[in-house]
Amino acid sequence: MGDMDIGALREEARALNLKGLDIYDQIMKGDVGIEKREEADKYIAEAAEKLDTSKGAWEALQQNAHLVEGMGSLTAGDPATGDPQQQVKSGWDSSLQWLLAVTASGVPEHAHILVNQGLLPEDFEQKLYEEKALAEGTGAAGGFLVPVEYRPELFAKPGEAAIVRPRARVLPMGTRQLQLPSLDQTITPADAKSAYFAGILFEWIEEAEEKPEQELLFKLIDLNTHELAGWLPVSNRLIRMSAISLDVLLRDLFGRAMGDAEDWWFLNGNGVGQPQGIISAPCTIQPNRTGANAIVWADIMAMYHAFEHNPRGVWVAHVCTTQQLIGLKDGNNNYMWMANMRDGMPQNLLGYPIIFTEKVPNLGTKGDINLCDFGYYLIGDEEGPMVESSIHERFRKNQTTYRISEMVDGQPWLSEPIELRPDGTVSISPFVSLDVPAQ
C-alpha cells in the first residue's frame, strides 16, 4: 500500500470521527434524541478501525525501507563499477541472508535463533529493534499515527466571590428610578440632641409648663439605574465544532464576570453614570495614613476609632497589604497580628473578618484597606443580568453575537458621616477607607 493510500485512510478516519462528534454535539444541544448515539458510536468505531489499518501499513513500509537500505540490486552487481561479479557493498553478505532477515524481522524469536546460528549478523537485533524501531515520540517514525488525546474540560482559576452584594440591602426596581425616605442624620448634635434621631431634643420642664416643640428632619434617597453591558461575536463553526458547549460556557462565564464587575464599581465607582462606590462616597471617613506605601498599627487604630461598630463589619483589603499586616508591631517591637509561623493566617482583625481581594486599590493608595458595614449599602436591581444571543446581527459573517447587560445602581444610604455628641467634633461612619498621608 503506498503513501497516498495511507493518507487517504487517515483522511477517511478523520471525516468519520468528525461525523460522530457532530452527532454527539447535536445530542448535547437537544437538536436530536439520545437514540442517535448508536449512529455516532458507529462512525467513531469505523474511524478507529481505519486509523489502525493505516498505522499497520505505515509500519510495514518503514520496516521494508530499513531492510533494503543500502542493498542496491542483488543481481546487478556493484553499482559503482558495474562489475556483476563484484560483491555488493551492502549490509548483507548475500541475497539469502537478506531474505532470512526479511522473514525474521517480524518474529523476534526467529531473529534471535538465526543470529545464534550465525546466519544473521550479530548486531542484527540491535539495529532492527533499537536503532530503527518505530517510536511514538518521532513523527516520521510512526508518531504521526498516534492520535493526541483531548479532554473536553476548560481549566480556569475561579474568580473571587462577591463581596458587596451578599452583604448589602438589595432592592428590586420596577422602573429606572426609586426613591426611599430616610431620617436626616446629618445634623450637628448638641449635648442632649443626637444626630441619630434627626433633630429630636427633649427638655426638662416644670409642672404645667408648655412642652418644647420638636423638629424631625427627613431626606430622600435616589437610586437611578445605569446599564452595565458587553458583547462578544463568536464564529458559528466554533460553536458547532467545539468539544465544549460554548453556549453553556459563555452564559456561565459572562454571569460570573458581571458579578465581579459589579463588585469593582460598588467599591470604586464615582457615582457619575455608575454606582457610588464606598471608597469615594461622601459618608466614608478617610483617615490619613502615617507613612507612604505602608500600613502601621496607628493606621488600624484610626480606622477602628472612626468605624460605627456593628457585628456586620468586615475588613476589605488588597492582597498586597498582607505583608504589612503580618508585620504589624506594638511599641515594644512585638508582632501583633501574626505572632508565630506555626498557626495559619488570622481570619480576623480586631474582631472583624478580613477579606483580601484585587478589587480595591493597591498598597499605598486610598482604599487599599477598608472597614465596612455593607448593610448600609443599597443596590437597586431593575433588570438582569441577562445573557442573550442572536444570529442576525452578524449573519453575513456567519457569527453569533452574545450580549450581556443589566440595569443596576448602588450607593450608601448615608450622605455624610454621623457626628457625635457633645459638639460634633468626632464623627463615625459604617464606611472607613485608609487615605494617603496628609500633605
Residue 96 has pLDDT above 60, yes or no: no
Q: What is the pLDDT of residues 258-284, one digit of tens each?
A: 999 999 999 999 999 999 999 999 999
**Cα–Cα distances in Å, from 400 out to 21, 234, 236, 246, 388?**
21, 5, 6, 11, 10
Q: Find the mean pLDDT for residues 386-402.
A: 89
Tens digits of per-residue pLDDT, 114-130?
Answer: 677 676 777 776 666 55
- pLDDT category at 70 given cuts 50, 70, 90 is very low
Give the C-alpha separation, 400 to 176, whole Å: 30
293 by Cβ neighbours in 10 Å (0-12 / 13-18 / 19+) ranks as middle
Whether residue 308 has pLDDT greater than 80: yes
Question: Cell match 509561623: residue?
Answer: 341
Nearest to 58 by CA among 131, 134, 110: 134
**Dist. CA 140–CA 159, nearest whole Å:** 43
pLDDT top residue among 4 and 75: 4
Q: Which residues contact 202 (CB under 8 A, 6 or more apart)?
A: 192, 212
Q: pLDDT > 90: what percent of the chain?
A: 39
Query: With contact defined as beta carbons under 8 Å apart, do 306 and 429 qualify?
Result: yes
| Domains of the chain listed by start with CATH number | 3-73+87-145 (no CATH), 165-204+212-433 (3.30.2400.10)
Residue 86 has pLDDT above 50, yes or no: no
Sign of CA dihedral 415, 420, 423, 424: negative
> How would residue 321 be classed by pLDDT, with cut points 50, 70 and 90?
very high
Q: Given a cut of 90, is residue 27 above it in pLDDT?
A: no
155-185 residue pLDDT tens: 776 788 999 999 999 999 999 999 999 988 8
Stronger pLDDT, 148 or 70, i.e. the higher one: 148
Gyration radius of the chain's alpha carbons: 39
* 136-140, 326-330, 359-363: segment of lowest average pLDDT: 136-140
DSSP per-residue letters across 249-314: HHHHHHHHHHHHHHHHHHHH-BSSSS-B-STT-TT-B-PBPSSTT---HHHHHHHHHHB---TT-E
pTM reported for the whole predicted model? 0.66
How confident is the model at residue 247, as a pLDDT? 86
CA 418, chain centre distance (Å)? 41
Q: Mean pLDDT, to the nearest integer, of 376-392? A: 91
In this model, does residue 243 exceed pLDDT 70?
A: yes
pLDDT reading at 68 higher than 50: no
Between CA 406 and CA 323 the distance in angstroms is 37
Q: Residues 246-260: pLDDT tens digits?
A: 888 888 888 899 999
Q: What pLDDT was estimated at residue 69?
A: 47
How far is the C-alpha of 263 from the C-alpha of 258, rounded, in Å?
9
* Digit-coded pLDDT (tens) for 195-227: 888 888 888 888 888 888 888 888 899 999 999
What is the average pLDDT value for the chain, to the nearest integer?
A: 81
Characterize the bridge pairing of strands 218-224 and 177-183.
antiparallel
Give the pLDDT of residue 230.
92
How do beta strands 314-318 and 427-428 pair? unpaired
Give the three-class secondary structure for 71: coil
Higher-confidence residue: 189 or 3? 189
Q: Who has greater pLDDT, 11 or 319?
A: 319
Nine cell digits for residue 359: 478589587
Q: Identify the pLDDT of residue 233.
A: 92
Higher per-residue pLDDT: 84 or 314: 314
Peptide bond into 422 cis (omega under 30): yes
Please tell me which residue, 405 or 46, carries the higher pLDDT value: 405
